[in-house]
Structure 1
Amino acid sequence: MPKTETILSTKSLHYFLQLIDTMNYTQAAQILGITQPALTQQIKKIEHAIGTPLFGQMGKKLYLTEAGKQLQTGAIKLLGTVNSVVSDIQEFTQEDKGHIAIGVLESVNSDILRHFLVKFNQKFPDITINVSYYNRKDLWYNLDNNLIDLALLYVPETTKKSQANIQNQYEQMKIVQDKLTILTHDNQAEVGKAYPVSKFLGKKWVLYPDDFYLTQLLKGKLGSKLNTRNGLKVPLTFTSTQQLVATAQETKYDTVVSDSYFQLHKNEITLTPVFLKGVQKFSISFIYRKGKKDVPRIKNFLVELKNFLS
């Protein structure tokens, strides 16, 4: 097989990018549904074809070589082009066939989406759907490069200049209006009441990482008080909402979640739900490129979702 065919095989590049996502051969192979030796062999074939290693190893940890970084950039662009071409072709096919790629922000509660997808799949079994979870930066990158069709994420209710990009290039379908909910151990706090920032200063928290939207909302409200002696103390962070809440309940730390998550899991949560005065409201919304609704399967998906929500 010619070297270029080995490198440009969509399957090979898909395997390569999946390994980058996990930096673990075992986990990547499990996600891909193949054996670890098969994945290792595929990567070695690409390395042999280009004549240089794509991955290095430091201890037990993998890292990308410079050649690997260059191939990653090319692979993403190439697969984006392939997906775009396939998408363009499928625009002329029926609304009940094809593939839909959905990206979901890591911290977004996607239970409603999962329930809908079960119903949608039963009604349209010939439409395949792939759901992947990303941080905000990677989610927008995949949306910008047409690697996903729809992105589910938090969107502030008040539109600022920095969000003009959403209005100009994308359309939005609001799924549910949401707000920041604090889960506290404070026995004097009243359920559902909104409190000022001063109520929560000096407490210890378990939160999402700094680049997560809900953490940014909380820290944005603290403002100048953030770096004071009584500011935010965060001994633990988690990307998983389930682990966040479980840890808060096992410790004396407070935490924050979306109200939609709390409403779906309130029977499992023992902490007191309260709100923070003056925090910006937001929605969980689908964002997609303008023109995506011209694709029959995407239009059909959005119509069915709207009917499901109503």
Structure 2
Amino acid sequence: MKTKQENIFSSKTLSYFLQLAETMNYTQAAQILGITQPALTQQIKKLERTVGAPLFFSVGKKLHLSDAGATMLAATQEIYEVLNQATDEIQRSTSATSGAISVGFLASIEDSVFNAFIAKYYKMHPDINVNFRMMTRREIWERLENNQIDLAVMYLPDDSIKNWKPYESRTIFNEQLMFLHHDDVLAGRDTVSFNETVDNRPWVSYPDDYFLAHLMREMYKNQLVTLPKPVAQFTTPFQIAEFSNRTNVDTALPASFYVAHKNEITAEAASFEPAINFELSFVFRKGKDQIPRIANFLDELDAYLAEEDYLSRIVKDSGRMLADSNK
């Protein structure tokens, strides 16, 4: 017969509980977990029977953690933290030139510099397996929390994340958002005020829950200007740029992406006034940069960018790709 502890920790019960505590929505949690809602409900009820108390309660349609649920959440997070620390401690004794490195890369970021660096890194360290995945912001944070990726490459500051205590960050590049337009009146301008970007202009943008969409809303709000409602939304800068090319609607994209694909974009670019600045950064759990292979990866990327800065490499790599495509 299984003990109470074995019942609690069996299967994926705790991961199901954590996901539900994160979303506070059975349907959404079940979709993320890839299971049916009844299966999730069954696992939560099983956990509640084991601990002898309800973990959630509802007020209307809104789900809340009970006192017992809050206690279970804190304990579960501590358990995962201990396991993550143990994993990292073991890996600190491993080799700097062999093993695997898992990198979660925000899908809305221009990736040419990292593609070029990883190719060079492989040639120098063929025994290192770099697993490079394009992800949404939510996917990145879930995998960081569960220690499923070693490094995340994403935009900061991200005020949607409330608990930064377990994490560290390292700036890669100071980025800026550019206004892309097809207006002859604004042609040749280096800067454009927020008011000048909303004069009955149709927009294409990222989905509302993406970092850059959130950043835009906050900046326009701070300037007391209403952000135009987009006529279309896409998850990647390539899709946004292509839609803008085909329809002549305005948009805003990171300067690095514009520089990389300037020859393929028909819109003119100008900086916002005041500028919309943010950072491209590594984010990782505390101590991850002490694991030899990860420390070596970060150090060699620093050296790579010291030889030639991030923006210069984007220009070079995009030019090389364009030349290759024309052959």
Fold match by TM threshold 0.5: yes
SS in 2 for 1:278: strand
Contact preservation (8 Å) 1:83, 1:147: no
Say which of 281, 284, 298 aligns to 1:285: 281
The whole-number CA distance in structure 1 between the counterparts of 2:240 and 2:214 is 16
The whole-number CA distance in structure 2 between the counterparts of 1:275 and 1:107 is 19
Aligned to 1:245: 241
Does 2:196 align with 1:204? no
Aligned to 2:142: 141
Gaps of 5+ in 1: 14-54, 57-61
Give the deviation of 1:82 after TM superposition.
Answer: 8.0
Distance 1:172-1:249 versus aligned 2 partners, 3 A rule: same
Q: TM-score, normalised by structure 2?
A: 0.66
Aligned to 2:57: none
Give the deviation of 1:153 after TM superposition.
Answer: 0.5
Aligned to 1:30: none
SS in 1 for 2:281: strand
Percent of residue pairs identical: 31
Aligned to 1:125: 126
Q: TM-score, normalised by structure 1?
A: 0.69
Give the deviation of 1:233 after TM superposition.
Answer: 2.8
**2:90 partner letter:** I
Q: Deviations over 1:108-155 (max 9, x none)?
A: 222211111111111111111112222222212221221211110111
Does 2:107 align with 1:106? yes
SS in 2 for 1:179: strand
Does 2:273 align with 1:273? no
Distance 1:68-1:97 versus aligned 2 partners, 3 A rule: farther
SS in 1 for 2:172: strand
Aligned to 1:94: 95
1:210-249 aligned within 5 A? 210-223=208-221, 224-226=224-226, 232-249=228-245
Q: Which moved more, 1:106-115 or 1:177-186?
A: 106-115
**1:145 partner letter:** N
Give the deviation of 1:207 after TM superposition.
Answer: 0.6
Aligned to 2:300: 304
SS in 1 for 2:185: coil
Aligned to 1:47: none
Q: Deviations over 1:187-220 (max 9, x none)?
A: 2224461211111112101111011122222222
Distance 1:114-1:255 versus aligned 2 partners, 3 A rule: same
SS in 1 for 2:253: strand
Give the deviation of 1:251 after TM superposition.
Answer: 0.1
The whole-number CA distance in structure 1 between the counterparts of 2:184 and 2:113 is 31
Contact preservation (8 Å) 1:203, 1:233: no
Distance 1:149-1:251 versus aligned 2 partners, 3 A rule: same
SS in 1 for 2:149: coil
Give the deviation of 1:283 after TM superposition.
Answer: 1.2
The whole-number CA distance in structure 2 between the counterparts of 1:79 and 1:133 is 24
The whole-number CA distance in structure 2 between the counterparts of 1:169 and 1:82 is 13
RMSD: 3.5
Gaps of 5+ in 2: 1-6, 16-29, 48-76, 307-327
Does 2:177 align with 1:180? yes
The whole-number CA distance in structure 2 between the counterparts of 1:105 and 1:253 is 25
The whole-number CA distance in structure 1 between the counterparts of 2:172 and 2:187 is 28
Q: Which moved more, 1:214-223 or 1:78-87?
A: 78-87
